[in-house]
Every structure is written in C-alpha cells, then in structure tokens.
Amino acid sequence: MDKQKLTHTCEYFLRLVGNGIGVPGRTPLSEKPEDAEWKDLLLLSQKHSLAAVTYRALKDLPAPPDAETLAAWEKAYGTCVHADIQQLYAWEEIRDYFTEKGFRLLPLKGLRLKYLYPETALRLMGDLDIFYEKERFPELKAGMESLGYTFQVKSLGGNHQIFDRPPVTNVEMHSALLPAVSPFADYYADVWGKALPTEEKNVFRFSVEDEYIYFLIHAYKHFQGAGGGVRTIADFYLFRKKYAESMDRTYIENELRKAESAAARKGEAPESLSRFEQKLSDISGRWFGEKVIVNEEDFALFTDGVYGKIENLWEHELQKKGRAKYLFGRLFPSYAVMKTGYPVLAKLPFLLPFCWIARLFRGLFRRRKQIAREYRYVSRDPQKREKDN
C-alpha cells in the first residue's frame, strides 16, 4: 500500500473509531476516500479489536460498505457482543464465588476500562485480569477448577496464573501486577495498600489516579516491548475525557517519580513515564481531535496491531544489548526470568543449569519454527531489519 493510500485509510479508520467511541464535536462522517478500501478498514478494525466500535459508526455513513463487507462487519460485532456477555458473566460468577469465601479481589485493565465506552461490548478483552491474594493460591485453584476452569501449569511462577474454560473464557489471576523483571515491579510491592473498598463485598478498586498510573505503566510495557495499537490510544483518550479535570495531578506526578526511583534502584533507566504520558497525549490529541492528523511515525501503530508485533520486541532488545549479549540471554535467561517458567527454582535455585537444558530441548521440540524465525531475524544485517520493519 503506497504512503498516500495508507494515510487516507488510517485517517478514515480513526474517523470511524472516533465516531464509534463518541468523540464530541465531530462533524458527520463524509464518504470514505476513493483510495481507502472497505476490506482494509475492516481488517484494521479487527486487527485492533475495534470492529464493534467501527461497526457502531457505520450507521452514520452516507454510503455504507458493500453487502459482503457489511455482513462480515456485522458478524464481527456480534462476536464482540457474545464475548462481552460471556466475560461479564464469568467475572460475576468468579466474584460471587470467591468473595463469599472471604477472598479480596481487584478487577484490572479491561474489566475497568470497558465502562468508559458507550457500550461495554465495544471494548473487547482478550482475557479477564483480576488481582488476588497470592498466599491463597491453593484455595483459588481449587475454586476455579470447581467452576470448570483448567489451570495452565506453565503460568505458576509468573505474575499471573492462567485459567481457561471452553469455549473462549480466559482468566489471568494476578499474584502481582507486573512481572518481576519489570523495572517498575518494586513500585507495586504493596498493591493492597493502594486498593480501596467498593460497595460490593470484598471487591476493591484503585483510585482514579492509581488506575491511571497503572494504565500508563502497563501501556509503557507494551510500547517499549512488542508495541502498542490504536485501542490503547482510545482507552487513554476515553480515560482522560472522563477524569482529566478531576484527577489530582500533583499525586500522579509524585507517584510517577516514585515508580522511576524504584526502577533506578534496580539499576534500570527507562524512559520518563511523564514523557511517555505526554507522547500518548500528543497522539490522542491528533487522532481524536476535531480534525484527524496521522503522521508518518504513526504508521507502525496501525500495522502492528493491538498488541504490537514480536519483531519490535526483538529489535528493542537488540538495540539495548547487541547481538551477542542478546543471543546469550535468550539461551541462558536470568534466574528471575527462569523462575517464572520453572517454579521449582524458587526452592531449589541450584537446578538452574538443568532448567536451562530442559528449556532448550522443550523449545526445540515445541517451538522450533518460532525459534528459527527469531534467529533469522537476529542474524540479519541491521539495515535490512530496519527496512523490513
């Protein structure tokens, strides 16, 4: 797709998104540019988990899509509505079961953000994220299994424990808000100290300010790793639209500095969180203002999808470490990283070399194609990688 066509397609896509989420002051949608194709607009909507949002905007169009594309869009919208019903039912079921047993629960991410949208079905979730009391994991696991969920053992040592229930319900029960390797992990050493009670028994929430800070730190992780997408910017825009005037900016700025100080104590020097916040603000201002403006540097946010792409993460680490150090780290991850996949190391750290060997063989048998793809990427000339990205 040439640059002009890509620009027109992205701009009209953002017009659809803006109208779908209720950007105020927007003029009625005009006909799409001739060089923007409906199939590409639908593809962008699906790639960024915004098909329900853009479908909502189609009713205002002077000239709707062709019948085949419209039917596919309507089907995508129906899928989002169905997923929303299932996921909210799953949350209510989990909430009722565990709070009656005295568990404290703190819903996170999409379970909170979806209420910023005109309809909850417009904010699709890949999974349900819930913070729990990690010392009660055995009871939690037994309870989730009694509700029909299967525990993914591979997630035992991570910051969230994964439970699946057919056909499509996935739940991430968080024992920590961030992985141990995150530069900001220590900032969230006492999550319950920030949690506030709600009217619902044993259900907690963050203050608006703390929810905003967590959103920024979580978004930062994605943007500095595989990348971020349009939905993150839409989340940011809607959060600011509702709360910007009432948030305590002094508290937010002080807490962002505390998070950066926690990173510094770990020997990390990440980008300023305040600068990252300003970056999101600049993008949302251009995308969801009265006039949509897409710059060339925005293109990656459209092409990478809602969670970015893995090549971005590889490139970021290569730039940071160099090829030799990167490959060594992939073959022999640190103890902190290995502990997430091999929980036995928490009690028997001397088994680390044997776990390295086990990980290598498991990768060769289960992830051979993915490993080969990563190695080919890392082995290429930097200029060739930059051109392809």
Distance set, CA 131 to CA 109, 142, 178, 205, 278 (Å): 10, 17, 11, 10, 28
- pLDDT digit string (tens) for 74-98? 999 999 999 999 999 999 999 999 9
Query: Closest by alpha carbon to 306, among 47, 22, 95?
Result: 47
Tokens of 359: 């990980």
Is the pTM above the cut of 0.95?
A: no
Output the pLDDT for position 201: 94
C-alpha to C-alpha distance for 54 and 42, rounded to whole angstroms: 8
Residue 307 has pLDDT above 80, yes or no: no
**Of 235 and 3, the one with more pLDDT:** 235
pLDDT at 379: 78
How many other C-beta atoms lie within 10 A of the C-beta of residue 167? 6
Beta strand 128-131 pairing with 169-174: parallel
Per-residue pLDDT of 132-191, as tens digits, reads 999 999 999 999 999 999 999 888 878 999 999 988 899 999 999 998 888 999 999 999
pLDDT at 386: 58
Check residues 378 and 203 and name the one with the higher pLDDT. Answer: 203
- pLDDT higher than 80, residue 23: yes
**All structural domains of the chain with their residue ranges:** 3-308, 309-389
What is the predicted pLDDT for the residue at 111? 96
| pLDDT, position 187 | 96
348-374 confidence digits (pLDDT tens): 888 888 888 888 887 777 777 777 777
Distances (CA, A) of 333 to 338, 359, 361: 6, 10, 14
Number of neighbours of residue 368 by Cβ within 10 angstroms: 10
Q: What is the DSSP string of 148-198?
A: T-EE-GGGTTSSEEEEEETTTEEEEEESSSS-TTSTTGGGGS-STTT-EE-
Q: How many Å apart are CA 37 and CA 327, to the nearest integer?
A: 42
User: Which residues, in sequence order, are bridge partners of residue 160?
Assistant: 174
Gyration radius of the chain's alpha carbons: 22
> Across all residues in the chain, what is the average pLDDT?
88
Alpha carbons within 13 angstroms on the beta-carbon side of residue 115 total 7
Is the pLDDT at 326 greater than 80? The verdict is no
pLDDT tier at 314 (50, 70, 90 boundaries)?
low
Q: Which of 197-211, 257-271, 324-338 reaches the highest mean pLDDT?
A: 197-211
Mean pLDDT of 44-62: 91
Measured between alpha carbons, how far apart are the two ends of the chain, in Å? Answer: 15
pLDDT tens column, 183-235:
999 999 999 999 999 999 999 999 999 999 999 999 998 887 555 789 999 99
Give counts: helices (H), strands (E), the chain.
17, 7
Which pLDDT does position 204 carry in this prediction?
98
pLDDT tens, position by position, 32-50: 889 999 999 999 999 999 9
pLDDT at 16 > cutoff 90: yes
Which is it for strands 160-165 and 196-197: parallel, antiparallel or unpaired?
unpaired
pLDDT tens, residue by residue, 104-118: 999 999 999 999 999
* Phi-psi region at 171: left, alpha or beta (left = phi > 0; alpha = psi -120 to 50): beta
| pLDDT, position 186 | 94
Half-sphere exposure of 108 (CA within 13 A, CB side): 26
Report the alpha-carbon angle 204-205-210, nearest 5: 145
Pairing of strands 204-205, 196-197: antiparallel
Please give the DSSP secondary-structure letter assigned to residue 146. Answer: H
Residue of 369, 313, 362 lying closest to 341 (CA atoms)? 362
